[in-house]
Amino acid sequence: MAVKIKTQYGTIDITNEVIATVVGGAATDNYGVVGMASKNQIRDNVNDILRRENYARGVVVRQEDNGVAIDVYVIVSYGTKISEVSRNVQSKVKYNLETMLGVTANSVNVVVQGVRVLAD
């Protein structure tokens, strides 16, 4: 599925992979987020942090009537306030989707898949 935006010049199709990449970049740009996690860790057999080219594995995009619903799977840093980090992720993802793609995020659900202790 893709998001279709109609303009006076024609139609713009934005695929879910593009949306997932923008969401992943916005999520990992926040303080306290170590990286993205796979949404299906057992099936993907991935317990590591996803690289930039695999952000689509850690994001679920669902089309709704007047926008999209996003699920973001992240790993946070030990010692940070998880609720505040999640709130920041929601805010940044929503902002980046609206400014970069012109797509409205109706909901941004953050799922914390793990906590990592970072070495100094």
53 pLDDT exceeds 80? no
User: Can you give the pLDDT at residue 39?
Assistant: 75
What does each C-alpha distance from 45 to 2, 16, 61, 80 come to in angstroms? 27, 22, 21, 27
CATH number of 16-116: 3.30.70.1350
Residue boundaries of the structural domains of the chain: 16-116
pLDDT at 47 over 60: no
How confident is the model at residue 109, as a pLDDT?
Answer: 96
pLDDT digits (tens, 9 = 90+) for 6-22: 889 999 888 888 999 99
Average pLDDT value over all residues in the chain:
85
The pLDDT assigned to 117 comes to 85
Select from 67, 73, 78 the least CA-distant residue to 89: 73
Whole-model pTM over 0.75: yes
CB 45 within 8 A of CB 80: no
Measuring CA to CA, which residue among 71, 82, 85 is closest to residue 24?
71
**pLDDT score for 36:** 87
Per the CB < 8 A criterion, the answer to whether 36 and 27 are in contact is yes
pLDDT digits (tens, 9 = 90+) for 30-42: 999 988 887 775 5
